[in-house]
Amino acid sequence: MSTYKEINGTAIEALSADPPNPQDGQVWYRTDLGTFKTQKQDAGGAWATGGTLNTGKMSGAGGGTQTSTLAFAGKNSGFGDLNSVESYNGSSWTTENNMNTQRSYMGGLGADNTAVLAVSGGDPGYYANVESYNGTNWTEVNDVNTARAGVTATGIQTSAVAAGGAFPGSPSDARVNTETWNGTNWTEVNDLNTGRRDLTGSGTSTSAVVVGGNPPTAAAESWNGTNWTTISNANASKEKSGSAGSSNTSFLVFGGSPYVAATESWNGSAWTELNDLSVGVQTNTGTGTQGSAISVGGYSPPGNIATTATEEWNAPAAVIETITLE
Amino acid sequence: MAHKTYQYCVAENWGKGFINSFESATIGFRSFPGNLWRVPAHNKDANLWINKVLGTPKTLAEAQAIVDAEVSTSQTTWDNDNVEGETSEQKIERLGARPADITLEE
């Protein structure tokens, strides 16, 4: 008979309290209780339609949470660049002041819909511009060092990381460049392992995941604030997808090219297929966390109509259960 | 008579509450151009959802005609959107691929 160690590579830990950040399926023995415990993640999360945008939007960006999101810029149904902005309160979208520079395929991040950063972007062209939103107006702040489109960025308005994208004059379109933001300046730091544009990433400036991109790939990397580490590939390629997450052990990716409805989560050790979006969509934007996210806009077949639709993801929190031995 | 796997209806997504989490997880939706929705046939939850959203049922032929009209319009828009000197690759980069025909399943 196989042992737990043979299957999992480690023995069951004997602990006097539950571990602070257990992995799904991890088993431990509580010495104080005399019982085995495990963390169980209910994979029963599902999408539901959310409030409808006032204006269809694709290839835009966003920042915030499921109930406090800002969606900005991107393209309209005619593939023209937008500088329009809408905020979401969990029920409905409200038009806000425009950004200074219209663009698409930029990075977006923020703690809520009143503290957001729009990073770089382009199409056509490449912008180094970064703009900061305070709940009312957009202000130009210091540029990134390398202008690029198809970049991803995550974190909060005062501490962020931006990675990947494409920029002119490069030998290859897909880049590895990574920059961190301290609230004032951008600094070049260690590169991604795999160059790509149109990737998606979520987390914080010190703990994040990126996945997918163009050339089409399922490759994923984990960021610890200093280095990118290649992790397991997602189950399927992710290009122009949306994502949400709070760390490099809690990440959700959804949608993408070509009109993908699939949703996958990363728990720090494995990817798990979850329930699909109601509508397959690409160039959608994601914000929120692994357990509470929103997918905003994008486009679906026949292919050139920017959607006003949004979907909201809710998943039950992981629970620690006692294992009963028979 | 062939056994229907799917049924189609037209319904406009009004946003919050149009599809709830239970419906999303259990029914298995697919959307098509023209506010057309495909859900499983002979399915109680799908039937209840169509009633909830006041969906207008469509036969396969009617649904296909709706999709064909929408795709044709999109293809014409794509075909007519040209920039002088632009290569076909550059056009695809700018607009995405030409909208493809969609064939609905029974």
pLDDT at B20 over 80: yes
Other C-beta atoms closer than 10 Å to the C-beta of A97 total: 13
Q: How far apart are CA B100 and CA A281, in angstroms?
A: 15
Q: Is there a domain that residue B79 lies in?
A: yes
Q: How far apart are CA A317 and CA B67, in angstroms?
A: 40
Amino acid, single-letter form, for residue A65 = T
Q: Is there a domain that residue B85 lies in?
A: yes
Domain boundaries, position B56 = 6-95
Q: Is there a domain that residue B30 lies in?
A: yes
A230 in Cβ contact with A260 (< 8 Å)? no
CB contacts of A275 in chain B (<8 Å) are 24-25
Closest listed residue to residue A59, CA positions, set B93, B87, B90: B93
Statement: the pTM of the whole predicted model exceeds 0.90: no
Residues 6+ apart with CB under 8 A from B21: A46, A47, A48, A314
pLDDT at A325 over 60: yes
**Model pLDDT for residues A135-160, shown as the tens digit of each residue:** 999 999 999 999 999 999 999 999 99
**Model pLDDT for residues A15-48, shown as the tens digit of each residue:** 998 887 777 678 889 999 989 888 776 557 999 9
A64 in Cβ contact with A47 (< 8 Å)? no
Q: What percentage of chain A exceeds 90 in pLDDT?
A: 73
Q: For B33-61, what is the mean pLDDT?
A: 97
Q: Is there a domain that residue B86 lies in?
A: yes
Q: Is there a domain that residue B25 lies in?
A: yes
Q: For A107-129, what is the mean pLDDT?
A: 94
CB contact under 8 A, A302 and B70: yes
Q: Does A136 touch chain B (CB under 8 A)?
A: no
A27 in Cβ contact with A36 (< 8 Å)? yes
Minimal-distance CA residue of chain B relative to A123: B94
Which of B17, B24, B30 is closest, CB to CB, to A275?
A: B24
Q: How far apart are CA A16 and CA A262, in angstroms?
A: 40
* pLDDT, position B80: 92
Q: Is there a domain that residue B54 lies in?
A: yes
A254 in Cβ contact with A241 (< 8 Å)? yes
Structure tokens belonging to residue A191: 């590169």
Interface size between A and B, measured as CB pairs under 8 A: 85
Find where tokens 């319009």 sit: B73
Domains annotated on chain A, with CATH = 4-40 (no CATH), 46-314 (2.120.10.80)
Q: Is there a domain that residue B105 lies in?
A: no
How is residue B37 annotated by DSSP?
Answer: E
pLDDT at A174 over 90: no
Strand pairing of A138-141 and A152-156?
unpaired
Residues 6+ apart with CB under 8 A from B87: none
A139 in Cβ contact with A131 (< 8 Å)? yes
Total tally of structural domains belonging to chain B:
1
CB contact under 8 A, B30 and A314: no
- The terminus-to-terminus CA distance of chain A in angstroms comes to 17
Structure tokens belonging to residue A25: 């399926």
CB contacts of B30 in chain A (<8 Å) are 279-280
Q: Is there a domain that residue B59 lies in?
A: yes
CB contacts of B32 in chain A (<8 Å) are 301
* pLDDT, position B104: 96
Looking at CA atoms only, how far is residue B40 from chain A in angstroms? 13
Find where tokens 């039950």 sit: A316
CB contact under 8 A, B96 and A303: yes
Selected residues 80-119 of chain A with any CB under 8 Å from a CB in chain B: 91-92
CB contact under 8 A, B74 and A303: yes
Residues 6+ apart with CB under 8 A from A6: none
